[in-house]
Amino acid sequence: MEYAIGIDIGGTKISAGIVDQSGEIITKKVFSTPQGTRDSILLLLENIIFTLTESAHFENKQLIGIGIGTAGQIDFVHGKVLSGTANIKDWNDVAIKKILSEKTNLPIYIDNDVNVIALAEQQLGAGKNNDDVICLALGTGVGGGVISGGKIIRGAWGGGAELGHIVVDMNGPACNCGFNGCLETYASGTGMARRMREKILADESIGNNGLVYYKHHPDELNSKHVFEWMQAGNEAATEVVEEAIRALSYGIVSMIHTFNPTMVLLTGGVLQDGDWFIEKVRSKVITLGIPSLVKPVAIQATQLGGDAGLIGAAIQPWVYQDNRNVSLDRS
User: Which residues would be at the binding site for Zn ion (CB under 5 A)?
Assistant: 165, 175, 177, 179, 182
Nearer to Zn ion, 41 or 252 (CB): 252
What are the C-alpha distances in Å from 150 to residues 9, 122, 284?
Answer: 24, 9, 27
Task: Report in angstroms how near the CB of residue 249 gets to Zn ion at its nearest.
Answer: 18
Nearer to Zn ion, 116 or 142 (CB): 142
Nearer to Zn ion, 32 or 171 (CB): 171
One-letter amino acid of 281: V
Task: Report in angstroms how near the CB of residue 134 gets to Zn ion at its nearest.
Answer: 18
In 3D space, the residue among 188, 150, 147 whose CA is nearest the CA of residue 166 turns out to be: 188
Nearer to Zn ion, 165 or 282 (CB): 165
Cα–Cα distance measured from residue 147 to residue 133, given in angstroms and rounded to the nearest whole number: 5
Give every CB contact of residue 51 below 8 A, 6+ residues apart in sequence.
Answer: 29
Task: Report in angstroms how near the CB of residue 47 gets to Zn ion at its nearest.
Answer: 35
Residue 31's beta-bridge partner residues? Answer: 14
Alpha-helical regions (H) of 173-222: 183-187, 189-202, 204-206, 212-216
Nearer to Zn ion, 69 or 191 (CB): 191
> Taking a C-beta distance cutoff of 8 angstroms, is the pair 118, 98 a contact?
no
Task: Report in angstroms how near the CB of residue 175 gets to Zn ion at its nearest.
Answer: 3
CA dihedral 247, 252, 253, 256 (to 10 degrees): 170
Task: Report in angstroms how near the CB of residue 258 gets to Zn ion at its nearest.
Answer: 17
Nearer to Zn ion, 132 or 169 (CB): 169
Nearer to Zn ion, 165 or 284 (CB): 165
> Widest CA span of the chain, in angstroms?
67
Task: Report in angstroms how near the CB of residue 317 gets to Zn ion at its nearest.
Answer: 33
Cα–Cα distance measured from residue 70 to residue 170, given in angstroms and rounded to the nearest whole number: 30
Task: Report in angstroms how near the CB of residue 164 gets to Zn ion at its nearest.
Answer: 7
Quickly count: other Cβ atoms within 10 Å of residue 295's Cβ: 11
Q: What does the chain come to in residues?
A: 331
